[in-house]
A and B are shown apart, each in its own frame.
Chain A
Amino acid sequence: MRLELRGITKRFGPLTANDHIDLTVEPGQIHCLLGENGAGKSTLMNVVFGLLHPDEGEILVDGVPQRFANSGEAVRKGIGMVHQHFMLVPVFSVAENVVLGFEPTRSLGRLDRARAREEIRRTSQEFNLEVDPDAIVENLPVGLQQRVEILKALNHDAELLILDEPTAVLTPQEIDALMAIMRSLAASGKSILFISHKLKEVRAVSDVVTVIRQGRVIDQVPPTTDEATLASLMVGRDVTLTVAKDAAAPGEPVLRLEDVVVRDDRGLVAVDHVSLSVHAGEILALAGVQGNGQTELVEAVAGMRDVESGRITLGGRDITNATPRHVLDGGLGHIPEDRQRYGLVMSMTLADNLVLNTPRRAPFAARGTRNLGAVRANAEDLVGRFDIRTTSVESPLSALSGGNQQKVIVARELSRPLEVLVAAQPTRGLDVGSIEYVHRQIVEQRNEGLAVLIVSSELDEVMALGDRIAVMHAGQITGVVDPSTSREQIGLLMAGAVGAADA
C-alpha cells in the first residue's frame, strides 16, 4: 500500500500537535517516524488510524483520498495498528482477540470458533508468526502478546502496519525477533510505519527516517545517518549521548535488602527472595523488562507496599514495613515511577509541591501553622538552583512541562539530607535535554557519597549510569554484573537466563 499524508494539521485548543505534516510510505517500505515524546507522533498515528480527525489536510491510500469516521473504517481500508498499550482483551483467547470485530459466524450469530482457529493458523503460517490460538492472552509473555497484535492486524488484511513504540516493553532478544518480523513483512510487500525515539533501532531497521519535532516535519534522512546527527535533528540542538562520570569509590553499604518477598496487587509473588545492597558513593542500576517486580520492590523500600518476609535496612536501621513518613525521615529520597500519581499533586502550586514531604517540619511550619514565607523562599531558591522553568512559584504544577515536573521532584528530594536516593524510571517521558540534566544531577550526588538505586527499563540508561547492574526477571535477581558486560548478555539475564553473564 502507498500511504500519503498531505498537510495534516491537528490542533488541541491553542496547541498545534501536528502542523502541516507531509509524509509518504511506499509499498514494502519500513518508514520510521522519529521524534521525542510530545513531538506529535502519536497524534499523527491516531489521525491515520481514524481515532482522531484532522483539522486540515488529507490522507491518500493508493492515491485515493480517504476520510475515516472511526478506526473500523481504517482497518477495512487495510491499515493496521500495533498500539504501544496493546489493544487486546486480557481474558479472551488469542483467537477471540484476533477475530474480534470480524468474527466468522454460523447460524443464530454463533461464533464459528473452528473457522477462527483455522484462519489464525493460516495467517500465522503465512507470516511465520507461531502462536497458540487457544491460549489466554493474559497468560502470554509480552513479546507474544505483541505478536498477537500483529497477527490481528494481518488477519484483517492490513497492507500498512503502524507500530507505535513497539520495543518499549521488549527484551533485547525480543526486539531482534520483532525486527526480523518487520523485515519479512516488508519483503512480502507490506508497508510499515515504525514510530520510535530509540536511535539504535531506527538505524537498524528503517529504509527511510522522517524526523518530526514540535509537530513539524524537520527532515527526511537515510538510516545510515549517524546517531549524533539523528539526535540533534530530533532535539533541535547538539546533545551528548553519554554520561561523563569517573570510577565509583564505593563505601559502606547503606541500603540493604535481605531475602525480601513482596506480593503485587493481585496477590502474586512479585519480588521473590531478593537480596541487594547499595553502597555509599555508587549507583546500582536495576535493569529488567517492565513488570518483573521492580515497581513492587521500590514500593516496598519506600514503605508503600507490605513486605511479606525478609528485611530492609537503611543505614543499619530496620525499615521493613515502616511507614513512608518514617522511611523518608530516615534519609531515603524517592523519585517515583508514576510521578503525577505518587510524586506530585498536580493541582497544588509549585511551592507547595516542593515541601510535599516536609510540610510539618521547621522552617516550613511551627506549632501547627504553616510558614508560607519560608515555603516561598525555599521554592524561589530551588527554582534557581535546579533551573525549573516556570512563570511563578505560585503556578499550579499542571502548568509545567513534564521535564520541569520531574525537576521539581529531583529538587525536592535532593534538597533534603539523604542517605540513599531511589529513582524509578527517572527519565521516562522526558526530552533529551531534561534527561541529560537528571543524569548529571544523579552522578553529582553519587560523587558526593550518596548511595543511589536507579530502576530503569531503558538498557541505554542502565549501562550509562550504573556502577553495578543488577538484572531482575520474574521477581528474582538473575545476575549482578559490571557495566562493561555486553548488551547481549544483559539481554539474556533480562530474559531469565540465570548466570548467563558468567560465560
Chain B
Amino acid sequence: MTRVSRLRVRGIGAFNVLLGLATALGFGLASGWKARSSLTFNPVDLSASAPWHVGTLTLATAPADLVLGLVMVALGVELWIRVPTRGVMARFGGVAVVFFLALLLWAVRTTGPAPINFVNVTAVLVGASALTMVLIFGSLSGVLCERAGVVNIAIEGQFIGGAFVGSMVASTTHDFFFAAIAGGAVGGLLGLILAFLSLRYLSDQIIVGVVLVTMLSGLSSYLNLQVLTPFPQYNTGNLAPNLPIPLLTKIPVLGPVLFDQTGFFYLMILLVAVVSFGLFQTRWGLRVRAVGEHPQAAATVGIRVVGVRYANVILGGVVAGFGGVAFMASQGQFQPGYTSGLGYIALAALIFGRWRPSGAVVASIIFGLSLYLSYNLQTFQVPVSTEVLGMVPYLITIAVVSGLIGRVRPPAADGVPYRRD
C-alpha cells in the first residue's frame, strides 16, 4: 500500500476520533445526568405487520452517548494504529451510523419523570430509505456513465424530467409501470443528448450536463405553471403503494425498511445487483471498463469505443429517469425544484463510493440518513435553526468529497473525449 493511502486511512481514523470525542462531550456530557432518551423499534403501523413487539428502549442519555462516543473513538484509534487495507469504508460507515444514533438519543432527551418524546428508529430508517433509494438510482447512473468515460452531471436534470413525465403518466394511466417506462425514456433521451453533444461534437461534458440541468429545471417550472397548475388532475394521487413481501416484513426493524417497500425500491435493489454483476463479472463490463480506462487500447482490439459510450450514457440516463419517477412516487406528485440538488449529491455518493455500485450504496445510505434527519430533527428539541440544519448534509458532502476520502482514482479516461486520430 502506498504511503498516501496510508495517510488517507489515518485521516479517516483521526476524523472518527474527533467525531467520537465531539459525540461524547457535546451529546454525552452536555446532556446532564438526569436526561433520559427513549427509542422505539416498533413498526410504524402496528396493526399491519408486527408479530414481535420489540418495544421501547429507555436510556440515560449522558452515559449512553458517552459510550457511543467512546466506541467511535475506539474504531478511529484502531484505524490509526492498524491501518488495515480492507474494510476502511465499512468502518467509516459504522461510525457514521453510531453517530446518527447518538444524535437521535441527544435530540429526544427529556428530563421529566416520564418520557414525553421518543423517536421511532424504524420510522426514521423507513423515512430515510426513500431518499437513499433516489440517491442510489442517481449514483448507479453515474457508475454506468463514468465507468465508460463520460461524466454525467445531468443526473439532476434526468431526475426532474423523470419526475415530471412520471407524474403525468401515472396520473393518466394510474399505473406506475407505465410511469417508470415514460420517466426512463425521458432520462434516456437526455442521456442521448449528452452523449451526442459530447461524443459527436466533443463538447465539454460538464458544460453540456449543467446546461441540461438548467434547461430541465426551467422547462419543468414553465410546464408546471402552464399544464399541471391549471389541470391538477394530471399531478395528484401518485403515491406509489407498498408491496410488502410476506413474512420477511415481520423481521424487526429491517423488515419494514427492506421488505415493505414500493416496486421502485425493489427495482433499485435489482439494478444494484445487475450493474455490480455486469460490471465486474461479464464481458460487457470488462469492455466498458476498458473504454473508461484506456479507450485507445480498447479500440485496437476492435471494441467500438464511441458505441459503448453511447450505450452506457443512454442506459445511465434511463436509470436516472427511473430515479426521478421513484422520487415523485415517494412524494405523491411533481413540484418544481423539489429535487433540490439530489442529483449532485448522488454524484458525490458515486465518488465517495469509488465508482463501485456497492460503495455507492454505502455512501447513499449515509447521505440519505443525514438528509432525512436534517429535514426532521426540527420536530425534536434541537436548538438549531431549520436553515442551518438543512445545510448539514451538503456540508458533509463537501467534507467527504474534498478532504476525507483523499485522492481517489476515477476511471483514467473519465471525462476525456475520445478522438479517433
Contacts and interface: CB of A to CB of B under 8 A. Distances in A.
A105 interface: yes
A100 B298 contact: yes
A68 to B, nearest CB: 10
A111 B2 contact: no
A156 B300 CA distance: 12
B298 A101 contact: yes
A395 to B, nearest CB: 27
Given A105-B283, A109-B283, A268-B3, A100 B290 contact: yes
Contacts of A247: none
B300 A81 contact: yes
B380 interface: no
B91 interface: no
Interface string A346-372: 000000000000000000000000000
Interface string B297-328: 11111110000000000000000000000000
Given A96-B286, A103-B286, A90 B301 contact: no
Given A110-B281, A110-B282, A71 B300 contact: yes
Given A70-B302, A72-B303, A100 B296 contact: no
Contacts of B387: none
A52 B299 CA distance: 12
A153 to B, nearest CB: 10
B146 to A, nearest CB: 14
A102 interface: yes
Given A110-B281, A111-B282, A268-B2, A89 B290 contact: yes
- Report the contact-size class of chain A (Cβ under 8 Å from the partner): 20 to 34
Count chain A CB atoms within 10 A of each CB in B2, B300, B407 and give the residue with the most. Answer: B300
Contact of A111 (B281, B299, B407, B412): B281
Interface string A68-88: 001111011000010100111
B4 interface: yes
A71 B281 contact: no
Contacts of A51: 299-300, 421
B282 A109 contact: yes
Contacts of B297: 86-89, 97, 100
A88 B294 contact: yes
A88 B282 CA distance: 19
A71 B296 CA distance: 11
A229 B302 CA distance: 41
Interface string B1-37: 0111000000000000000000000000000000000
A71 B420 CA distance: 12
Interface string B188-219: 00000000000000000000000000000000
B287 interface: yes
Interface string B99-134: 000000000000000000000000000000000000
Contact of B302 (A46, A75, A109): A75
Contacts of A87: 294, 296-297, 300-301
B406 to A, nearest CB: 10
Interface in A37-95: 46, 49, 51-52, 70-73, 75-76, 81, 83, 86-92
Nearest to A73: B302
A266 interface: yes
A83 B300 CA distance: 10
Contacts of A109: 282-284
Interface string A95-136: 011001111010011110000000000000000000000000
A267 interface: yes
- Report the contact-size class of chain B (Cβ under 8 Å from the partner): 20 to 34
B2 A267 contact: yes
A105 B294 CA distance: 22
B260 interface: no
A267 B407 CA distance: 10
B112 to A, nearest CB: 55
Given A71-B301, A89-B289, A267 B4 contact: yes
A268 B282 CA distance: 33
A105 B278 CA distance: 13
Nearest to B411: A91
Nearest to A46: B421
A51 B296 CA distance: 10
A412 B252 CA distance: 77
Given A89-B290, A110-B282, A101 B4 contact: no
Count chain B CB atoms within 10 A of each CB in A83, A96, A105, A111 and give the residue with the most. Answer: A111
Contacts of A86: 297
A150 to B, nearest CB: 14
B135 to A, nearest CB: 26
A72 B302 contact: yes
B65 interface: no
Contacts of B302: 70-73, 75-76, 101
B156 interface: no
Contacts of B294: 87-90
A259 to B, nearest CB: 19
A266 B290 contact: no
Interface string B371-413: 0000000000000000000000000000000000001000010
Nearest to A105: B283
Contacts of A72: 301-303
B283 A266 contact: no
B301 A75 contact: yes
Nearest to B278: A109
Contacts of A83: 300
Contacts of B299: 51, 70-71
Nearest to B284: A109
A108 B282 contact: yes
Contacts of A90: 293-294, 412
Nearest to B413: A89
Contacts of B412: 90-91
A156 B4 CA distance: 38
A105 B2 CA distance: 34
A52 B282 contact: no
A214 B21 CA distance: 72
Nearest to B296: A87
A429 to B, nearest CB: 19
B301 A102 contact: yes
Contacts of A108: 282
A71 B286 CA distance: 19
Given A51-B421, A100-B286, A111-B286, A89 B303 contact: no
Interface string A166-184: 0000000000000000000
Nearest to A91: B293
A198 B281 CA distance: 44
28 contacts: A70-B302, A71-B301, A71-B302, A72-B302, A75-B301, A81-B300, A83-B300, A87-B294, A87-B296, A87-B300, A89-B293, A89-B297, A92-B286, A92-B289, A97-B297, A100-B290, A100-B297, A100-B298, A100-B303, A101-B301, A101-B303, A102-B301, A105-B282, A110-B281, A111-B283, A156-B301, A267-B3, A268-B4
Given A92-B290, A100-B298, 16 more contacts: A51-B421, A71-B301, A71-B302, A73-B302, A90-B293, A91-B412, A92-B289, A100-B286, A101-B298, A102-B301, A105-B283, A110-B282, A110-B283, A111-B282, A111-B286, A156-B301
